[in-house]
């Protein structure tokens, strides 16, 4: 257990569905991240929130919409996804400004888009 | 280049040492990390090294850093079947960003 939880762990959705991924951290961190992990590719950073404000959006399509209502929760809202969006979506958190600043990851949500 | 580079696969026999290599991109990166990912799980931080160090040892793990060549390695002594996983190298790029490699899949054969 890393102190970062994600729900659901698995999700299958059609291209016309709307769903949301949830992440919660219990570590007192002030930054949260969404990553996409596809086979044999480096982790792709999607969004960064620091102190509940979005600080980075790495050219992610608008069909992915993040929300960070407070420093402990992060959501990723999904709509009209494509099959190539099927991947493992990982949430992470960290405390910025500390020496290591290492990120702690949740177990991920395995998303399949039909 | 802009990518953190790692070999995709490594296979060793149980009891041998494993060495996983990584080339990172930014000579000014302050911290370098090794993460482990087991099947069905997220990434677990194994160890990290500050850029002013050239070696760090933690039980069976030894991290070597060559800043001149931007080369990082992870040595696992007495590798066990439970060490089978994907190992990711990462560098801290700025206050919020980390850049990850594609991961090395370590297979440990009995």
Residue A57, pLDDT above cutoff 90: no
Helix/strand/coil percent split, chain A, to 5: 5, 55, 40
Q: Quote the mean pLDDT of chain A.
A: 90
Q: Which residues of A touch B31 (CB under 8 A)?
A: 100-102
- Lowest-confidence segment of A10-19, A43-52, B11-20, B75-84 by average pLDDT: A43-52
CA distance A30 to chain B (A): 11
Residue A17, pLDDT above cutoff 70: yes
Q: Could B101 and A2 be called an inter-chain contact, meaning their C-beta atoms sit closer than 8 Å?
A: no
Helix (H) or strand (E) holding A77: strand A73-79
Cβ contacts below 8 Å, chain A against chain B, sum to 58
Residue pair A22/A81 in contact (Cβ under 8 Å)? The answer is no
Of A1, A12, A90, A75, the residue nearest B103 (C-alpha): A90
Chain segment B65-79, per-residue pLDDT in tens? 999 999 999 999 999
Give the tokens for residue B28.
């000014």
pLDDT band per the 50, 70, 90 thresholds, residue A109: very high
Chain segment A72-94, per-residue pLDDT in tens? 999 999 999 999 999 999 999 99
Grouping H, G, I as helix, E, B as strand and the rest as coil, residue B68 is coil
Chain segment B45-69, per-residue pLDDT in tens? 999 999 889 999 999 999 999 999 9
Residue B99, pLDDT above cutoff 60: yes
pLDDT reported for residue A97: 63
Q: Closest-CA residue in chain A for B5?
A: A42
Q: Could B96 and A56 be called an inter-chain contact, meaning their C-beta atoms sit closer than 8 Å?
A: yes
């Amino acid at each position: 257990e890393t102190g970062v939880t994600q729900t659901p762990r698995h999700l299958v959705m059609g291209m016309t569905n709307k769903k949301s991924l949830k992440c919660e951290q219990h570590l007192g961190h002030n930054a949260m991240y969404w990553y996409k992990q596809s086979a044999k590719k480096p982790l792709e950073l999607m969004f960064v929130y620091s102190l509940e404000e979005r600080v980075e959006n790495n050219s992610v399509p608008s069909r992915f919409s993040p929300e960070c209502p407070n420093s402990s929760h992060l959501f990723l809202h999904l709509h009209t996804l494509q099959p190539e969006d099927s991947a493992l979506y990982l949430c992470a958190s960290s405390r910025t400004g500390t020496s290591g600043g290492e990120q702690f990851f949740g177990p991920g949500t395995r998303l399949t888009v039909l | 280049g802009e990518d953190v580079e790692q070999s995709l696969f490594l296979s060793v026999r149980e009891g041998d040492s494993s060495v996983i290599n990584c080339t990172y991109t930014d000579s000014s990166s302050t911290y370098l990390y090794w993460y482990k990912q087991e099947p069905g799980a997220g990434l677990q931080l194994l160890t990290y090294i500050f850029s002013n160090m050239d070696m760090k040892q933690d039980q069976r793990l030894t991290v070597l850093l060559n800043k001149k060549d931007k080369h990082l390695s992870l040595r696992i002594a007495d590798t066990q079947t439970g060490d089978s996983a994907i190992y990711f190298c990462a560098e801290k790029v700025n206050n919020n960003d980390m850049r990850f490699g594609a991961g090395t899949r370590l297979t440990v054969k009995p």
